[in-house]
Amino acid sequence: MSKVVVANDHGAIELTLSIVAHLEERGFEVNHLGVTSPDSVDYPDMATKACGEYLAGGYDFGIVCCGTGIGISISANKVDGIRCALPQNIFAATMAKEHNNANFIAFGGRIEYSENVLDMVDAFIDSSFQGGRHQKRVDKIMAIEGGTC
């Protein structure tokens, strides 16, 4: 069974719970590390928790959510080895995997998306990294975090 790590802050509880339910319906084992209470928590803490769990191994990908998705995606991208995309539509979710080999995606619980978030999640899951010329670019992305570019 494929396994996914998910985390959220107080700004994306409803959205995250719908994503978790959707992933489980698709047959994923979900490790939800986020909150279900509206009590304030800091999105950098949720991002580092999810990314640390992912990097420990055994996960196919991760999803992180906060009010806008911006802060938690920026935080996730500070963790070595993480490539977190913040898709705004199905095309971007597809390209995040096909071209950037993203291992995390982020969403905002307070954002009104023009396309359904669950459809974006599905597009990400159902896409595969194309490799080829894109691998060179992903290698360059990863070199940046090590300061070798």
Q: Name 16's Cβ contacts closer than 8 Å, sequence gap at least 6.
A: 6, 8, 32, 34, 63, 65, 109
As annotated, the active-site residues are 66, 99
Please tell me the total number of residues recorded for the chain in this structure. 149
Residue 3 β-bridge partners? 29
- Nearest Cα to 109, choosing from 35, 48, 57, 29? 35
Give the contacts of 75 (CB within 8 A, at least 6 positions apart).
Answer: 43, 44, 47, 48, 64
